[in-house]
Structure 1
Amino acid sequence: MDEFEMSSKGEMTANPCGSIRANCNYIGSEMAKKHTIESLATLKILRHLVKYPHSTVIGLLVGTTDGDALVISDAIPLAHHWLDLSPMLEVGLALAKIHVQSKNLKLLGTYVAHSRIDLTVLDVVSQRLNDSLQFDSSIALVVDNQKLDSTENPLIPYTRLKANEWKKLEATDFQTNLPKDWVHCEGSIGDFDDHLEDLGVDWLVNPTIRNKHHAGSSLLMNEITFK
């Protein structure tokens, strides 16, 4: 089993509708890959789950590759209603692929936050959704809901070893801080389910969050790094 460490550097600045970044290093085996999750992606994941606290929410991780490393720069909230590989979920995935390709980016993986506060497993739907991305180095993040009110990093990373085989990375030491007021900004995000109910919802970009994130870009921020 791989072991990894997380170290936090710098000071976290609380910005209610701004950005979140934590600097964490996960040390794995010699063949482990280093993956970075930037603040905009983290912020969208957290806003998505807070908007629908009684539903399981799933979404897509967007970014680029740098050799063997994945740089996750954004996230696309996908669903809080369709929690199986339904035709509607497949439509949303197809639209997301077109959008990402138009930006010269890639779909690198998925995230999920379960409705059950104690559930931290990588579910079958997330695994199948990752398989449909046809990306060999896919990564999946599961939110540990019990850590949302603490200073611990709430994102649990899973890496795909091969088809239908995923590996959870176990933390040995980590520390990160989240702005206390980020939970009050959830109304500015929308997913594909929201778009189906209101076509004016720009679920692919969520410009309100993006604009507020850029407005706070001058603040001191960190990023989460998986290795």
Structure 2
Amino acid sequence: MTGELVYEIGQNAYIKLVLHALKHKTNAVNGVLLGRYEQSKGVVEISEAVPLFHSNIGLLPPLEVALMQIEEYYSDQGLSLVGYFHANERVDDKDLSNVAKNIGDHLCRYFPQSGILLLDNKKLEALSKVKDRSPVMQLYRRDGSKWKVGGVEEGGRLGLKEPSANVMLLDYISSKKWEDIVDFDDHLDDISKDWLNAELFK
């Protein structure tokens, strides 16, 4: 790893990914992160997230179709792919899966600073009791050919852009907002379903 990087995730992107994982609690789910790299500040700003799949998440053809559409849409807004999100199928599974590593490796070819965010179910469960302001996910960065937890000492740090993001997340959870999340799986089954989730925060 070369130098410390701060990965700063915006509230809407953060909430969208957690709701995606909550909608499909018994499945592994994934998504991609979009934003900008402020090299002079050493900050990767994650301003948007797109939920991808909740079944057969390791299949390459649907992933490539999704990435092409996502890149085409968001490049007009000046955003590019900066990372990947993953939630494991089992609540007690805290390891980065081979699927997550492979997709992370793929993204690193285009953006070497790509990070992987892995949902921490224990942190998510404790949210309502602890009123924690830290993200309910763990950052991984690639070190050579291996993915490692990106704590400060390892050269990467994840923070919430809005400190109140977890409070907002709890509001969305209590109103069962996860039921409204649409991912690329849903869109491929029914193209009238909006993978941009434009109505989610209205």
Give TM-score scaled by structure 2 length: 0.80
TM-aligned CA deviation for residue 158 of structure 1: 0.5
User: Hey, what's the Cα distance between the residues in 2 that align with 1:74 and 1:143?
Assistant: 17
Partner of 2:38: 66
Choose the corresponding residue for 1:56, options 9, 14, 28: 28
Residue 122 of structure 1: SS of its match in structure 2? Answer: coil
Unaligned runs of 5+ in 1: 1-28, 213-227
**Cα 1:43/1:129, change in 2 over 3 Å:** same
Partner of 2:123: 147
* Alignment deviations for residues 73-103 of structure 1 (CA, whole Å, 9 cap, x no partner): 1100010112213312221122222222222
**Cα 1:54/1:98, change in 2 over 3 Å:** same
Choose the corresponding residue for 1:120, options 91, 94, 104: 94
Choose the corresponding residue for 2:65, options 79, 91, 106: 91
Question: After the TM superposition, which segments of 4 or more aligned residues of structure 1 sit over 6 Å from their partners?
Answer: none
Q: Residue type of the partner of 1:120?
A: K
Choose the corresponding residue for 1:169, options 150, 168, 174: 150
TM-aligned CA deviation for residue 160 of structure 1: 1.7
Q: Is the 8 A contact 1:45 1:77 kept in 2?
A: yes
User: Hey, what's the Cα distance between the residues in 1 that align with 2:170 and 2:32?
Assistant: 25
Residue 90 of structure 2: SS of its match in structure 1? Answer: coil
**Cα 1:117/1:101, change in 2 over 3 Å:** same
TM-aligned CA deviation for residue 42 of structure 1: 0.6
User: Hey, what's the Cα distance between the residues in 2 that align with 1:136 and 1:70?
Assistant: 12
User: Hey, what's the Cα distance between the residues in 1 that align with 2:9 and 2:124?
Assistant: 17
Are 1:34 and 2:6 matched, yes or no? Answer: yes
Which gives a bigger RCO, structure 1 or 2 (Cα 8 Å, sep 6+)? 1
Choose the corresponding residue for 1:182, options 161, 172, 182: 172
Partner of 1:206: 197
Unaligned runs of 5+ in 2: 154-158
Residue 79 of structure 1: SS of its match in structure 2? Answer: coil
**Cα 1:82/1:122, change in 2 over 3 Å:** same
Q: Is the 8 A contact 2:4 2:152 kept in 1?
A: no
Q: Is the 8 A contact 1:189 1:208 kept in 2?
A: no
User: Hey, what's the Cα distance between the residues in 1 that align with 2:190 and 2:2?
Assistant: 48
**Cα 1:99/1:81, change in 2 over 3 Å:** same
**Cα 1:81/1:32, change in 2 over 3 Å:** same
Q: Is the 8 A contact 1:161 1:167 kept in 2?
A: yes
- Aligned Cα root-mean-square deviation (Å): 2.4
User: Hey, what's the Cα distance between the residues in 2 that align with 1:30 and 1:59?
Assistant: 25
Give TM-score scaled by structure 1 length: 0.72
Structure with greater helix percent:
2
Q: Residue type of the partner of 1:71?
A: E
Matched pairs, number: 180
Residue 93 of structure 2: SS of its match in structure 1? Answer: coil
Q: Residue type of the partner of 1:189?
A: I
* Alignment deviations for residues 176-205 of structure 1 (CA, whole Å, 9 cap, x no partner): 8444332211122111000011111111x2
